[in-house]
Chains A and B, each alone.
Chain A
Amino acid sequence: MLKIERLYVTVGERLVLSDVNLEIDEGEVHVLFGPNGSGKSSLVMTILGHPSYKVISGRIIFKGIDITEMPTEERIKLGIAATLQHPPKLQGIMLKDLLNRISDGRLRDDGLLRLIDKLRINEDLLNRHVNVGFSGGEIKKCELVQVFALNPDLLLFDEPDSGVDIENLELIGRAMSELLAGKSALIITHHGHILRYIKPVRAHIMFNGQIACNGDPEEMLNQISKNGYGWCEKCISMRRS
C-alpha cells in the first residue's frame, strides 16, 4: 500500500528526515513512536506533500504509483488522508459546510452521521467555524470526521491522543478502531495512550529523523513506558558503536 524508500527531506536548510524506509501493506496498521521533534510529523507532512517539506532524495510509492512529486490534493484523491496534530483555524467556514463539501454532499450519508453521533459532535459544534475556539478533544474529533468523510485507503493519524481527556480518548479510540476496519494506517503517538483501543501489527521508533528501531508494538510501548525515550537513545548509540 505504502512504500517509502531512502527518503531524505529538508525544511529550509534543516534536514528533518534522513534515510527513512517504511513499508505498510494492505490492511496493516503500524504505530510510530518517538520523542518530540524526532521527525514524526515531518513524515506525515511529507507523505501529504506539504510544500515546505522538500524531498531531496528517495521515493514515496503509494498503490504502486510514485507520488513523491504529486500535488497534495491528488494524493488525497488516490486514497491517502491524515488527521493533523495542529490544524489551522478556518474563520468563516462552518464545520457542517466543510464536511458537506468534503463528502461531496453526502453529509446525510448514514456512516458519516453515525460517526458524528458516536463522537458526540453536536449541532452546535457543526455550526461553529472549523477549529475556532475548539477544545483539544473537539479538534481531534473534527479531524477524524473529516478524514472519515474522505473515505481513504491509507490513514495517517498524527497524535490523535495528545491533549485529549480520558472520556474523549475513549470516544476517539473506539471511533478510530471502527474506522480502521480493513484499512492501512500509520498512527503517530508520543505516549501511546491510543493503543488501549487499537492494536497495530508493527511498531517503529523515530529518532533524529530516522527510523531507528522496528518491532512488536506492545513490547516497544512497555520499554518506552518503563524506561523513556532516553533508553532508546542509549540502545541506538550502543548498536551504532
Chain B
Amino acid sequence: MHIDEEELNKALDKPADYGPDLDLSSYLIEPEEAARLDESILKRAYDVGIDLSRKDSAGNFLQVDHSVMVKAIQKRFENDVEVMTIDEAMGKYDWVKGLMWNLISPYKDKYTAFVAKNRRGGYFIRVLEGRRVYIPVQACLLLYSPHIMQALHNLIIAEDGTEAHIITGCTHHTKSVKGLHLGMTEIYVKRNAKLSFTMVHKWGPGMDVRPRTGILVEEGGTMFYNYVLLGEVGSIQTYPAVTLLGDNSRISMNNVVYLSGSSNADLGGGVAIKGSGSRAELLTNSVVTDRAKLVSRGSIVSEAPGTKGHISCKGLMLSDSAEISAVPLLTSKNADSELTHEAAIGKIAEEQLFYLRSRGFRLDEAESLLVRGFLDISSMKLPKHVERSINTIIEQTMKGF
C-alpha cells in the first residue's frame, strides 16, 4: 500500500481511540544495552509459553528488542511453512509490501504511524498452500534494554487449504523496568484455511503495550484467535479488527485475562461480517484484583445473510478497588443475521463456595479453584502440550493469590 508521508506525519500526534495516551518521546529507540542470547532470555521466553529448546515445534522465532536471535524451521517442515524476518520476506517476495498496511491503517493513531516510519523487525510466517502443520510455530518478542520501544511489523499468511497453529509469547526481560511494545500484526487466512493463533502476554508494572492487529478471513476460512494476558501491566490497549470477507468464514476470539496490581487494560475486538453464512464469536473471561482496571470491548457488525455473531463478556471481581467495564456492541445490517451478547460481572458466587467447602475445601482453596476455573482455556482447543504449558503459566501467576 502506498503511504502518504504527510498524512503519516500528522498521525504521529494522534492519540488512540481508547486507552491512556503515551508520550513516545519518553522511550528510547536505540537500545542502551545490546542483548546476548543467554539462559535468562530463554527463561523469559519460557515464562510466556515459548520453549525454544523444544524439538517438536515446526519453527521458532525470537526477537529481542530489535535483533532477531532465533529464526529456524525444522527440516521436515521446510516445504510446509516459511519463517523469516519481515525484511527478508520483503526482499524475497515483491508482493509482501502490498500486504502490509492493508489490514491496519498506518494513519490510525500515533502508534501505527510510528511503526510505519520506524519499523524495526518483526516476523513473517507463511503456511504454504494445502499444507497442514500440526505442531505449532513459536514466536517470542522480548523487550530487554531499559526504556526501549519495540516497533515491529508481523505478517502471517495461511494460504488456501492450510492448517496451522502459531503460538506467540510477548514479555520483557527483568532488566527492562520500563518499555513500550508496539506490534503490528496482519493476518491473512485464505480460502478454506484453518489458522489457530495464540498469544500469551506477561508484562510488568512499567510496561506499556499497544498491539495493532488486522485479520482477513476468506471464503471457508477459520481463524481461532486466542489471547491470554496475565499479571500486572502498566497499560495495554488493543482492539484486533477482523473482516470475515468470504462466505462461510469464521472467527472465534477467546480472551482469558487475569489482571493484578495497578494494571490499566483496554481489550477487545471488532468483527465485520461481510460473507454470507459466516460466524463470529468473541469470548472474554476476565479476573481483576487489587486496583486493576479493565475495559472489555466487543463489536460485531453483520452485513450478510445467514450469519451469526455472539459476544460474551464475563468478569470476576476479586477486589473493591478493581474495575471492569463490559462494552458489547451489535450492529445488524441484514435481517437474516442472528446477533446475541451476554455480559456478567460479579464476585465469586456464594453457592459455589459453599459447594466446594461442603466437599472439604477451605475457603481460600475454594476461591482459588473457582478463579482458576474461570480462567479455563479448554475452549481454545490448543494442542495438548501448549494447553499444559499455558495452564502452568496461569498457575504460576496465581500463586500469590
Contact = CB atoms under 8 A, between A and B. Distances in A.
Central interface residue in A52, A81, A91, by most chain B CB within 10 Å = A91
B370 to A, nearest CB: 7
A101 B366 CA distance: 11
Contact of B354 (A72, A90, A91, A150): A72
B354 A102 contact: no
A71 interface: yes
Interface secondary structure of A, over-half rule = mixed
Interface in B371-385: 372-376, 378
Contact of A92 (B355, B362, B373): B373
Interface in A64-116: 71-73, 76-77, 81-82, 84, 87-88, 90-93, 98, 101-102
Contact of B369 (A77, A82, A84, A93): A93
Contacts, number: 60
Interface stretch (B11-19, B25-33, B289-297, B345-353): B345-353
Contact of A90 (B350, B362, B363, B370): B370
A146 interface: yes
Contacts of A88: 349, 351-352, 355
A48 interface: yes
A102 B360 contact: yes
A146 B352 CA distance: 15
Interface residues of B, number: 22
A51 interface: yes
B58 to A, nearest CB: 28
A93 B365 CA distance: 13
Contacts of A3: none
Contact of A71 (B352, B357, B370, B375): B357
Task: Report, as a range, how many residues of chain A touch the other chain.
Answer: 20 to 34
Nearest to B356: A90
A195 B319 CA distance: 48
A52 to B, nearest CB: 8
Interface secondary structure of B, over-half rule = helix
B373 A51 contact: no
A129 interface: yes
A50 interface: yes
Interface string A22-46: 0000000000000000000000000
Given A51-B350, A73-B362, A73-B363, A92 B376 contact: yes
A166 to B, nearest CB: 28
A84 B359 CA distance: 11
A52 B351 CA distance: 10
A90 B376 contact: no
The 5 nearest A-B residue pairs measured at CB: A92-B373, A92-B376, A72-B357, A93-B373, A76-B360
Interface of A: 48, 50-52, 71-73, 76-77, 81-82, 84, 87-88, 90-93, 98, 101-102, 129, 146, 150
6 contacts: A71-B357, A72-B358, A81-B359, A91-B376, A92-B373, A150-B359
